[in-house]
Amino acid sequence: MRAHLERALTNAGYDVVSVDRGTAALPYLENEHFDLLLSDIVMPEMDGIELAQRCAELAPRTRVMFITGFAAVSLKASREQPHAKMLSKPFHLRDLVLEVERIFDDQREASL
DSSP for 56-107, written as a single string: HHH-TT-EEEEEES-HHHHHHHHHH-TT-EEEESS--HHHHHHHHHHHHHHH
Per-residue pLDDT at 35: 94
Look at residues 84, 52, 65, 68 and name the one whose alpha carbon lies nearest to residue 9. Answer: 65
Q: If you average pLDDT over residues 53-81, what whole number do you get?
A: 77
Decide: 99 and 87 in contact? Cβ < 8 Å: yes
Q: What is the mean pLDDT of the chain?
A: 86
Residues 6 or more apart from 20 whose CB is under 8 A from it? 2
Per-residue pLDDT at 86: 85
* Dist. CA 96–CA 106, nearest whole Å: 15
* Dist. CA 39–CA 67, nearest whole Å: 6
Secondary structure class of 37 (helix, strand, coil): strand
Question: Whole-prediction pTM value?
Answer: 0.84
Q: If you average pLDDT over residues 75-103, what whole number do you get?
A: 80
pLDDT top residue among 40 and 109: 40
Q: Is pLDDT at 74 greater than 60 in this prediction?
A: no
Q: Which CATH number fits domain 2-111: 3.20.20.70, 3.50.50.60, 3.30.1050.10, 3.40.50.2300?
A: 3.40.50.2300
